[in-house]
A = this chain, B = another copy of it.
Amino acid sequence: MSRDGDRVVSRSITLNQLGEFGLLQRLFRRIPSPSRTVLIGPGDDAAVLRASADRDWIVTTDMLVEAVDFNRAYSSFRQIGYKALAVNLSDIAAMGGRPVAFLVGLAAPGRTPVRTVDEIYRGMLTLARRYGVALIGGDVSAARQGIMISVMVLGLVEPGTAVTRSGAKFGDRIYVTGTLGDSRAGLEILKQKRRLKPSAMESTLIRRHFFPTPRVEFGRLLSRRGWATAMIDLSDGLASDLRHLCEASRVGARLEWNRFPVSAALAAYARRLNRSATDYALRGGEDFELLFTVNRARVAAVEAAAKRMALAVTPIGTIVSKGLGITLIGKESREIPLTVRGYEHFKHS
């Protein structure tokens, strides 16, 4: 038995029992506090390093494992490559940084055709060119089974302006970019349809699953202007990621159910299944939109700037004190505690 923060965890339990977030917490509990060079260590969307007065570096890594994070039965390798880089660019965006360079670790069985690796890189390089990010290195290794892609991205930000998860304050408005829940619906459609031809509405949702748009330009705006008090990207789902932001900021939140931005495609899809689009918005993962908080004095400026960039941003709630927890004002204005979680590795495996 070993003491893990306030919890005592037996070392013989498995990763399935501990879960992804429990494991990350455990791994990073012994980490020393920030130093002169390490401004922000583990626990945010990305780390922040400083070695000179005029720039800070932002560094992040994310990996995709075959049969866990992607499935070749319903993804092309080009789509997988695109996404492997996109999720990392989204982490840089969530700190307000400009992505500059990336490295790729790739493990694959020796019997893999070269064509497969070419396609993965083609997917990454298409996105890299769009964002002006340079491939600067990597490593390849044989693997026994399945493909594994590990990507690391480095970005730059003006000194001291990186936006963390921990600055949300009582009274701040909570915003999201774009629409929520599309990616999860797209994945559901893929799993059901396999090789059947999807409808136009279904194709829209599938595209949102395969090709998330890292909100780099808007993230840059928020960091440069100092408009966001806290920010995180939506990878695990709104319910889960808002919880991470609130825990880091030591605040609570009140979400307004009827404000969640939902695409016409998702609304139609949910209606057809007689399910709630809100539920997709709350629990769906992999939207890779930005969730951020704004002081009320800056709300008008943020909304005007987003409009000029033709990017939808939607206020979906308000930061409250920690003691009030995270609640959802649902139908008939009833306020209920938000317990729904998003995706977590191991817990579902």
- In the bound complex, CA of A42 to CA of B125 (Å): 14
Among A13, A46, A67, A137, max chain B CB count under 10 A is at: A137
- Beta-carbon contact of A143 and B65 below 8 Å: yes
Total interface residues in chain A, CB < 8 Å: 85
Known: A65-B143, A145-B146, A148-B107. A12 touches B113 (CB 8 A): yes
- Beta-carbon contact of A61 and B115 below 8 Å: no
- Beta-carbon contact of A148 and B143 below 8 Å: yes
Known: A23-B114, A65-B141. A47 touches B103 (CB 8 A): yes
Mark out the residues of chain A between 8 and 27 whose CB falls within 8 Å of any chain B CB in the assembled complex: 9-16, 18, 20, 23-24, 26-27
Among A62, A103, A105, A114, max chain B CB count under 10 A is at: A114
Interface 1/0s, chain A 180-192, versus B by CB < 8 A? Answer: 0000000000000
Q: Which chain B residue shows the least CB distance to A4?
A: B114
Mark out the residues of chain A between 83 and 100 whose CB falls within 8 Å of any chain B CB in the assembled complex: 100
Q: Which chain B residue shows the least CB distance to A62?
A: B139
- Beta-carbon contact of B135 and A41 below 8 Å: yes
- Beta-carbon contact of B61 and A11 below 8 Å: no
A62 — which chain B residues lie within 8 A by C-beta? 105, 139
Query: How many Å from the CB of A294 to the closest CB on chain B?
Result: 26
Mark out the residues of chain A between 45 and 77 whose CB falls within 8 Å of any chain B CB in the assembled complex: 46-47, 49, 51-55, 57, 59-69
A204 — which chain B residues lie within 8 A by C-beta? none
Query: How many Å from the CB of A295 to the closest CB on chain B?
Result: 28
Known: A27-B121, A137-B59. A110 touches B349 (CB 8 A): yes
- In the bound complex, CA of A345 to CA of B144 (Å): 12
- In the bound complex, CA of A349 to CA of B145 (Å): 12
Q: Is A32 interfacial (CB-CB < 8 Å)? A: yes
- In the bound complex, CA of A11 to CA of B112 (Å): 11
Known: A13-B114, A23-B117, A62-B139. A32 touches B152 (CB 8 A): no
Known: A107-B148, A143-B65. A137 touches B41 (CB 8 A): yes
A57 — which chain B residues lie within 8 A by C-beta? 51, 57, 154
Q: Is A265 interfacial (CB-CB < 8 Å)? A: no
A46 — which chain B residues lie within 8 A by C-beta? 137
- In the bound complex, CA of A62 to CA of B24 (Å): 21
Q: Give me 17 A-to-B residue pairs in the complex whose CB atoms sit less than 8 angstroms apart, sorted by A's number.
A: A11-B114, A11-B118, A12-B113, A23-B140, A26-B117, A27-B138, A35-B134, A37-B134, A41-B134, A41-B137, A42-B137, A49-B100, A49-B154, A57-B57, A67-B144, A68-B142, A103-B152
A331 — which chain B residues lie within 8 A by C-beta? none
Known: A15-B110, A105-B150. A136 touches B9 (CB 8 A): no
Q: Which chain B residue shows the least CB distance to A118?
A: B11
